[in-house]
């Protein structure tokens, strides 16, 4: 199925640059990759929403841990470290594609 898509001059230039670089042989592959990334982002947002909802529901059931101020900094560092690791993994995955 063919779909006609109008692009801004900036996006048209981006597609052209990607094709010229050889990274994406046909222009349709550039658009396809963009749509795949959009779908991936939507799925990640859906997962995040479900996880946040589950966290609120667990808290309502009393399933949580209390932290003092001294624990807060340690917890924050662990959360940041996990986030950095996830970002590194995402970057690694993107570089493979």
Task: Give the C-alpha separation, 86 to 81, whole Å.
Answer: 9
pLDDT tens digits for range 24-74: 999 999 999 999 999 999 999 999 999 999 999 999 999 998 878 889 899
Tokens 């309502």 correspond to what residue? 60
pLDDT tens digits for range 69-90: 889 899 899 999 999 999 999 9
Domain ranges of the chain: 1-64, 66-97
Task: Give the C-alpha separation, 14 to 12, whole Å.
Answer: 5
- Helix and strand totals (H; E) in the chain: 3, 0
């Amino acid at each position: 199925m063919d779909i006609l898509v109008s692009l801004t001059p900036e996006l048209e230039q981006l597609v052209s640059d990607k094709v010229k670089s050889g990274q994406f042989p046909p222009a349709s592959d550039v658009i396809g990759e963009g749509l795949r990334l959009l779908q991936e982002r939507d799925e990640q947002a859906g997962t995040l929403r479900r996880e946040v909802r589950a966290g609120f529901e667990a808290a309502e059931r009393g399933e949580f841990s209390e932290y003092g101020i001294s624990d807060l900094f340690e917890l924050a560092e662990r959360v940041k470290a996990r986030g950095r690791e996830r970002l590194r993994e995402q970057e690694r995955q993107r570089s493979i594609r």
